Structure 1
Amino acid sequence: MNQKDSGTIRVGIGGWTYEPWQGTFYPEKHPKKRELEYASRQLTSIEINSTYYGAQKPETFAKWYEQTPDTFVFSVKAPRYATHRKVLADAGETIERFLTGGLTELKHKLGPINWQFMPTKVFDAADFEAFLKLLPQDINGQALQHAVEVRHDSFRTPEFITLARQYGVAVVMSVDSEYPLIVDTTAPFVYIRLMGTQRNEPLGYPAATLNLWAKRAKCLAKGATPEGLAQLVPSLPDISKCDVYVYVISGNKVSNPCAAMSLIARLAIARPGALHCPGERLS
């Protein structure tokens, strides 16, 4: 979806390597070295998870760039070593090392960076602002988009929303999870993680739920607040449209690609592979 009065909506999953996806998402005996090539033609974005656990080589980012379509976009999980610390202001070296470690080899396919915090990390305004000050707006001339995934209920406060807006950082919407759902728009893009796919649902989610989130994504892309999602602070008047990133992740992981493709079909998003899940229906 890409219209003048609306941002671009991208839909994907977390990672692309998962053994149970062989034969359920990937064709039987599909070469592992070509899994990203295949996945990037059925989806429009993927959240890279391996960067959360350890550094990747510049050549690896360059390879991922080469294996994916020109319109494909990655989001990247930042290293846990930057966010899993008592004093966030001390994360500067780790942040710089990550951002200068080859990330820009993704070129125009680099989307948001997700800085995920521990569920035990409590909101402290001074502490968190010190962290936000460490996040640059660009690296080597390439613009960066930052999102923060907070997991403690203390972040459900207008003070946090105001701070995120001040620095133009998005707040990740953690849907169908044990973590607080914060839906305020704080940046020119929206980052959604749908985390509740179910084993007994052929498409991962009931059709009604997929329809609902397709509708909400369209609404958010126009800079509006979807019905049924209450913000802590009213939207800023100058947010006229937003790019929207939706990732189906966690839950019943084996069905996440199918749920993502079902959302893409409902949103009528063009993709090179143009496949549907078996038995796919849009209503």
Structure 2
Amino acid sequence: MWSLKSWQGRFTPHPLPSGEKLRAYAGWCNAVEGNTTFYAIPPRETAASWAQQTAPDFRLIPKIPKRITHELRLSGGEDELRIFLDAIEPLGPRASALWIQLPGSFGPDDLGVLSRFLRTLPLSFRYAVEVRHPDFFAAPRALEAVLAPLRAEWIPFDTTAFFDTPPTSDAERDAWTKKPRMPRRDTALTDHPIVRYLGRDDTARTVAGWQPWVATVAGWLREGRSPTVFLHTPDNADAPELARRFHDEVRVLVPELPALPEPAPLPVEDEPLTLF
């Protein structure tokens, strides 16, 4: 997601052609969730455009299509996987990991399927798995035992701050019915941990809820890891600004962390012409 309507004219110029929207987003943040690939495999030309709009060290983490993860449940999707990997090949190093988001019904009894799937994947990519079945969190060692030997990461989706108190806005009420209730999990299995965090509409509550992650991410950086953090709110209207704020808070603890890129200034509208 890099072209939210509420960002246009506020964080990014408006109007912008579709082939420039990712470039504008990349002026604010250096990573993005590749949600679009979850719903449809893009043409190679589209992935090449994404690469052209971003620096080689930009992190675009594409999700493996839901046809493979949710409909086929990691079994029998060899043709779809081959087409997907070919489509994203133009991203090169920008595809810093491939995201395997699994349905809530995919539980510990399916670990054998996950293990076999991971072992068939090419070694040219890193992989990260997001699970939503509560039993994985009650007894995490079984999943860790599958992921760690294969250098695959476990992506936590921390919604504890969001579900701490009842919703207070339309956006929060909508998210309340759609987002999973997930615990906070801060154990990294690899040198490239990935975190998802969901806050509230209230900025102060969002910032208060992410404070444990500031300390965790700073600790990972001191250990030599290279984490990626994705920050969400129910409407995501302020997400680019909040992401930069989180990054700045981590830099207070780890001053050697490079700053994020400086966004290009938005164009100033011409003043109306007058006779005097």
Unpaired runs of at least 5, structure 2 = 160-179, 252-257, 266-276
Amino acid at match of 2:250: L
Whether 1:189 and 2:192 are equivalent positions in the alignment is yes
Amino acid at match of 1:148: V
Give 1:118 shift.
0.9
Amino acid at match of 2:157: S
Separation in structure 1 between the aligned mates of residue 49 and residue 73 of structure 2, nearest angstrom: 35
Residue in structure 2 matched with residue 110 of structure 1 by the alignment: 95
Unpaired runs of at least 5, structure 1 = 1-14, 139-143, 224-240, 277-283
Give 1:32 shift.
4.3
Percent identical pairs in the alignment equals 21
Give 1:275 shift.
7.9
User: Which moves more between the two structures, 267-276 or 151-160?
Assistant: 267-276
Residue in structure 1 matched with residue 16 of structure 2 by the alignment: 31
Residue in structure 1 matched with residue 201 of structure 2 by the alignment: 199
The DSSP-based 3-state class of the residue aligned with 1:81 is helix
Structure 1 runs of 4+ off > 6 angstroms? none
The DSSP-based 3-state class of the residue aligned with 1:126 is helix
User: Map of 1:90-169 to 2, 5 A cutoff?
Assistant: 90-101=76-87, 103-124=88-109, 125-138=111-124, 144-156=125-137, 157=139, 158-169=141-152
Whether 1:262 and 2:245 are equivalent positions in the alignment is yes
Residue in structure 2 matched with residue 43 of structure 1 by the alignment: 29
Give 1:100 shift.
1.9
Q: How many residues align?
A: 235
Larger C-alpha radius of gyration, 1 or 2?
2
Separation in structure 1 between the aligned mates of residue 220 and residue 150 of structure 2, nearest angstrom: 20
Residue in structure 2 matched with residue 271 of structure 1 by the alignment: 260
Whether 1:214 and 2:214 are equivalent positions in the alignment is yes
Amino acid at match of 1:163: V
User: Which moves more between the two structures, 103-112 or 50-59?
Assistant: 103-112
Separation in structure 1 between the aligned mates of residue 232 and residue 148 of structure 2, nearest angstrom: 26
| Contact kept in structure 2, 1:47 and 1:74, CA below 8 Å | yes
Whether 1:77 and 2:60 are equivalent positions in the alignment is no
Separation in structure 2 between the aligned mates of residue 127 and residue 108 of structure 1, nearest angstrom: 28
Separation in structure 2 between the aligned mates of residue 275 and residue 216 of structure 1, nearest angstrom: 31
Q: TM-score, normalised by structure 2?
A: 0.77
| Contact kept in structure 2, 1:193 and 1:246, CA below 8 Å | yes
Q: Which of residues 162, 176, 181 in structure 2 aligns to 1:178?
A: 181
Give 1:267 shift.
3.2
| Contact kept in structure 1, 2:3 and 2:25, CA below 8 Å | no
**Greater relative contact order structure (CA < 8 Å, 6+ sep):** 1
Separation in structure 1 between the aligned mates of residue 217 and residue 233 of structure 2, nearest angstrom: 19
